[in-house]
Amino acid sequence: MKNFQLGEFEEIVMLTVGILNNSAYSVAIKNEIEGRLSRSVSMGALHTALKRLEEKGYLKSFAGEPTKERAGRPKRFFEMTGLGKQAIAHSKDMREKLWDAMPKTILNLKLQAPIG
């Protein structure tokens, strides 16, 4: 299998594009991540990740219809490519293997003794 590499934020962006499906454009992606994860996202970091994911061939983008709210400029929408779907599935499988290999007692100890 191809050596798929996704950083944590890239994985979050990919999952969010999947969640939003046909409505995935930068502001919607940012709002979805912030709403679901209570995590602040800068537009610069998001645009960098989207560009990198497109360069890797995991996402593709296309222009929507021009809108009055955007002074006639179209939104740029994103969708996962076949390669992107393989990459996100690989990431999920890898994480599940690691979680499955972790002794259950480790999680119990962590829950009983919070760090701090």
pLDDT by 10s per residue, the chain, length 116: 467 889 999 999 999 999 999 899 999 999 999 999 999 999 999 999 999 999 999 999 998 777 777 667 778 999 999 999 999 999 999 999 998 998 877 777 555 555 55
pLDDT at 109: 57
Domain 8-112 adopts which CATH fold? Arc Repressor Mutant, subunit A (1.10.10)
Q: What distance in Å separates the CA atoms of residue 60 and residue 51, rounded to the nearest whole number? A: 9
pLDDT at residue number 5: 85
Structure confidence at residue 112 (pLDDT)? 52
H or E stretch covering 60: strand 59-66
**pTM for this entry:** 0.82
Taking residue 10's Cβ as centre, other Cβ atoms within 10 Å add up to 21
List, in sequence order, the alpha helices (H) in the chain.
Answer: 8-20, 26-37, 43-55, 82-101, 104-112
